[in-house]
Structure 1
């Protein structure tokens, strides 16, 4: 039997982790992937016609490519095939609820309506968490039977447990990596670290670059136990994760922050590293009260972060126990086999 084909439509980044994992999973399900990256998103339909792009079984518009949905939909109508979109985020949610942009209510409503119109062109809309599913349904008015959840996960071929690296003098490193956007709450991390200034064996490292980096560096002045590092290449990230003892997720208190499970949480859990992050209903119900592996605290609360770190570092053996739980949580809830199963369910509804 001939493998079914999917046309990946849009000006997408093949190397972005969400796309890499989805593509790997689809290939394991024996789908043939064909890429179409139009020169200009708005004219994608015309270019596809001129280039005589062959009909496939499905069209997939990957994450962040809302601009490509309209032209992909037009092509799907022409060829009578199903359109699947995997936006990962709502651009309306990001622009209006996360960023500090101040829009008039009428303009914010226009942004929302446009995205709602785009999402409703699809036959299936993929979300990465149940909270994003709720947003798509309640705020963007997508029909419930069109929405399916597929977790982001981590690339298990590179994010995997390793033997613990022995460190001298009982030193412990707390690591955050990210893009220093407000959702991540990096100032919460710096303020928590400052509360533990007397613990000279504890090193806090913030890795990456972004809008709040300079603010964090200013906050961290005269704090010799707080360090900053530049962005690490994606393929070198697992090695950097394993050099640390405890990983940090996100701590922002925005509605957007409450809807996501960030890449760094998946990746740390896959590496078998304990993660501290803000509490959120986006996580599966069976791990929301976890005491090991992943530790949840209230958002925007430096004191709570300090206390969570302190409990772990006061009993170093508890970190090793917690690390085992971290990978177990990943395997049970977010592994690639689970993602593949979720994708199978998606295609069973449109086949």
Structure 2
């Protein structure tokens, strides 16, 4: 049996981490050793603990080291283990350091900008296989980050819990659901600008779920808006509760940011909302073309806040939207998307079978 060292795991329940780990365990029959990141602060402390924990698996042998999503900053640790353990190194280039720290969050010093960009490039160069989540990002890695191998696209997908029991919304009103972090990537100002254009004569409400840097500012904007009584704010919830929220909702909102990352990813909630058979409204990007054929019209791309408002009005004004035929169609979306994801994962199996020595 082969062994995978899954290095720098931030959260074993995170959808992408869960799916990749299960693929190795269930489909490939590998033994997976997940090395999680120390909760205590300090980059050096975390790095040394990852190195120490990784080396503890040197005895039985490791066939592949996989640097986890969100962990490109620990590339030096991964490269050290690759040499000491004479193992191949795969890298999940899911979220770049530069695009997050510099382009999304902002406020980085010139030195931090150079360092994050350098780590991103080195990760793209040394990953073999090199993993990412969309064709758009795979092309970006070849064009801007000098990837030496063709990146393997492993789509995010959605857990079967979202498509388990698809039906018409259980709420009597048109409920618009936003969930996730309050960060620039999600472009919530677009959402608020669109909500300001919705007629109050229509029966609609908005549920915001999540937390993050911009939550206070967004809540303040809503408090001063004419539609404030239509909105409720909720703390982050468990996945089971999130599934219930989606089943109660009529519409799921995606992301509306305009950063390079926002234009090249397909967010978790886009996958989850579609799998649950809900129309998902999200900003138009080239990345979404990859799943549009499987979405059967439930994926609604918009190009401006005005466009978003008009699409929302069109849905809310249609009392017969959730017809029996619509519900039947909604139940097919999850399986269609899952078939697409499984097809893309075959490339990983082929890469593991044919890749050369470390």
TM-score by length of 1: 0.87
Tell me which of 203, 206, 211 is aligned to 2:205.
203
Task: Work out whether residues 292 and 322 of structure 1, in 8 Å CA contact, stay in contact via their aligned partners in 2.
Answer: no
Structure-1 residue corresponding to 2:278? 273
In 1: Cα distance, 2:61 partner to 2:90 partner: 15
Structure-2 residue corresponding to 1:315? 318
Structure-2 residue corresponding to 1:34? 33
Tell me which of 182, 188, 193 is aligned to 1:191.
193
Pairwise CA distance, 1:191: 2.0
In 1: Cα distance, 2:18 partner to 2:256 partner: 26
Task: Work out whether residues 62 and 86 of structure 1, in 8 Å CA contact, stay in contact via their aligned partners in 2.
Answer: yes
Task: Work out whether residues 190 and 226 of structure 1, in 8 Å CA contact, stay in contact via their aligned partners in 2.
Answer: no
Structure-1 residue corresponding to 2:152? 148
Pairwise CA distance, 1:120: 2.0
Matched pairs, number: 343
Determine helix, strand or coil for the equivalent of 1:9.
Answer: strand
Q: Can you list the C-alpha shifts for 1:223-242, whole angstroms capped at 9, x where unaligned?
A: 21122222111232111110
Of 61-70 and 124-133, deviating more is 61-70
TM-score by length of 2: 0.86
In 1: Cα distance, 2:58 partner to 2:292 partner: 49
Task: Work out whether residues 296 and 333 of structure 2, in 8 Å CA contact, stay in contact via their aligned partners in 1.
Answer: no
In 2: Cα distance, 1:86 partner to 1:286 partner: 21
Task: Work out whether residues 200 and 225 of structure 1, in 8 Å CA contact, stay in contact via their aligned partners in 2.
Answer: no
Task: Work out whether residues 291 and 337 of structure 2, in 8 Å CA contact, stay in contact via their aligned partners in 1.
Answer: no
Task: Work out whether residues 274 and 319 of structure 1, in 8 Å CA contact, stay in contact via their aligned partners in 2.
Answer: no
Structure 1 pair 167–123 and aligned structure 2 pair: CA distance change class (3 A): closer
Pairwise CA distance, 1:261: 0.4
Tell me which of 27, 49, 63 is aligned to 1:57.
63
Where in structure 2 are there 5+ consecutive unaligned residues?
Answer: 39-44
Pairwise CA distance, 1:146: 4.0
Determine helix, strand or coil for the equivalent of 1:10.
Answer: strand
Structure-2 residue corresponding to 1:23? 21
Determine helix, strand or coil for the equivalent of 2:82.
Answer: helix
CA RMSD of aligned residues (A): 2.6
